[in-house]
Chains A and B, each alone.
Chain A
Amino acid sequence: MVQKKERVIHSRVGPLHVEQDRLILFPKGLVGFEAQRDFALVRLREDSAFFLLQSCTDPQLGLMVADPYVYVPDYRIKISTVEQELLRLRNIREAVVLVTVTIPPGKPEDAILNLVGPLVINIRLRRGMQVPQNQLRHPPRLHLAGGGQTGEGPPCEPS
């Protein structure tokens, strides 16, 4: 039996046992958090599209992120050659894309996906980067409860 190596991360939601293969290096940090390099991507519920991107060194710093493709199946982003090199991407199948989530205080049903600053992760090397989109062909934000991006896209009504 091969036991997966685990590491205990002190997160904003308490201590978490994180498998080594969920640890991600962001060599340039995140926008506004440039000094933070080591993060863990934690799934708090098996069937959820939402994750916690938790700093391994600052327990207070945990960002809510989500898989955008559950809600925006045609989400397309541009990754420049320089960014692909920094991520050491060999092909696009190695890339996992996440977006940050904004929750208005006390209104989790009004969660918003932010589509301008996607996080791209090379899943083979567990190396990540935030890749600002200067020219986005989607509306910049998706209100999950609002039935999609300014009337487009599939409705996502709470059931």
Chain B
Amino acid sequence: MLILTRKAGESLYLGDDIKVTVLRVQGNQVKLGFDIPRDLTVHREEVYLRIKEENLMAARATEQDFFMATELWSRKKKE
């Protein structure tokens, strides 16, 4: 892992078109600013990992559970 030290107000570039600026450091929190290409999406790691795990779980349900749930919850529509 590349490790760099930056002060608040300083920036660094990832390649030519991604600029990361350290805006503020307070206690154990860092506020970062990103100047990035418009088609790039940025996500918090914990959100990303959570969704990845949920996708795996959604794909892992057994065939039997899958059909059972479809049956069971077909009657659950709003009354």
- Interface positions, chain A 73-110, Cβ under 8 Å from B, are 73, 80, 82-83, 85-86, 100-103, 105-109
Chain A interface size, as a band, is 35 or more
Q: CB-CB < 8 A to A52: which residues of B?
A: 66
Of the candidate stretches A2-10, A15-23, A41-49, the one touching chain B is A41-49
**Could you tell me if A103 and B77 are in contact, using CB atoms closer than 8 angstroms?**
no
Contacts of B7 in A (CB 8 A): none
Number of A-B contacts (CB under 8 A): 127
Q: With A13-B63, A82-B38, A106-B65 in contact, do A101 and B58 touch (Cβ < 8 Å)?
A: yes
Q: Assess the B58–A159 pair: CB atoms within 8 A.
A: no
CB pair A111 B73 closer than 8 Å? yes
Closest residue of chain A to B71, judged by CB?
A45
Min CB gap B53→A, angstroms: 8
Q: Roughly how many angstroms separate A132 CA and B74 CA in the complex, as a whole number?
A: 27
Contacts of A66 in B (CB 8 A): 73
For the complex with contacts A50-B74, A132-B48, 5 further pairs of A-B residues with Cβ separation under 8 Å are A44-B67, A62-B59, A80-B41, A85-B38, A86-B39
